[in-house]
Amino acid sequence: MNKEVEVRYLGVKDYKETWDYQEELFKGTLDLKIKNRREESDIPTHNYLLFVEHPHVYTLGKSGDKENLLISDEELKAKNATFYKINRGGDITYHGPGQIVGYPILDLDNFFTDIHKYLRLLEEMVILTLAEYGLKAERSPGETGVWLDVGTPFARKICAMGVRASRWVTMHGFALNVNADLGYFDNIIPCGIKGKAVTSLNVELGRKEISIEEVEEKLLKHFAELFEAEMKLSK
């Protein structure tokens, strides 16, 4: 079992380019697992965590409905935004500047073979990180992701999640709003859930901007603790 996770910082990167890169790493791990099984070998598989910011983009998961995108192709262009239908779970979401997007590409055979637990630990990583900023974040029953003021008329989502897994190898991941332009969420029904608001860390703290690097550092610390992983930084 290889519990080392290589952390790669991609900076600001086009969504499609990053998706292709994820697929490349994902396929490499899958191919090695298949080879190990076929040849009865035991070559360790690699684990990665990619951190990235995307230019404005909307992505629709396998179970999503394009009706939840509320603007036309022409309006997308006017807003310098793109749209992709992709192979993760979940409905529609937005990625853009000021948002930390994390893509763990893990072989869960190195950790635990339980997708439900995997999602709950990703949520817990974000909940613990936000607690360091004095925010009480929590889960919303039946809704993946991390929320504030659950069960009240003021419930709002601060972190969206959607993953794909095959042979216990994961891809896609989470998107935490840190300094996000929340106006872009007005163009969708986020995650296909009507009547729920979206928020960002800087808004909640009443600050113009929060250090992305500082938040990433806290996320990494909690990821390492929760997954009992050894983080190897690759900047």
* CA-derived radius of gyration, the chain: 17
| pLDDT exceeds 80 at position 192 | no
How do residues 23-62 score in pLDDT, each as one tens digit?
A: 999 999 999 999 999 999 999 999 999 999 999 999 998 8
In this prediction, residues 173-187 reach a mean pLDDT of: 95
Helices (runs of H) and strands (runs of E) counted in the chain: 5, 12
**Would you place residue 194 in the very low, low, confident or very high pLDDT band (cuts 50, 70, 90)?**
low
Residue 48 carries which DSSP code?
A: E
Q: What domains lie within the chain, and their CATH numbers?
A: 4-228 (3.30.930.10)
Any binding-site annotation on 173?
yes
Give me the pLDDT at residue 191, please. Answer: 58
| pLDDT exceeds 60 at position 117 | yes
Give me the pLDDT at residue 89, please. Answer: 75
Task: Give the separation between CA 86 and CA 63, rounded to whole angstroms.
Answer: 10
Look up residue 117 and give its two tokens.
């637990």
Any binding-site annotation on 112?
no
Any binding-site annotation on 48?
no
Q: Could you list the active site residues?
A: 191
Distances (CA, A) of 205 to 94, 151, 152: 21, 21, 19
Three-state secondary structure of 99-127: EEEEEEECEHHHCCCCHHHHHHHHHHHHH
Whose tokens are 């909640």? That residue is 204
Any binding-site annotation on 92?
yes
Q: 3-state DSSP call for residue 93?
A: strand
| pLDDT exceeds 70 at position 193 | no
Residue 105 and residue 169 in contact, taking contact as beta carbons nearer than 8 Å: yes
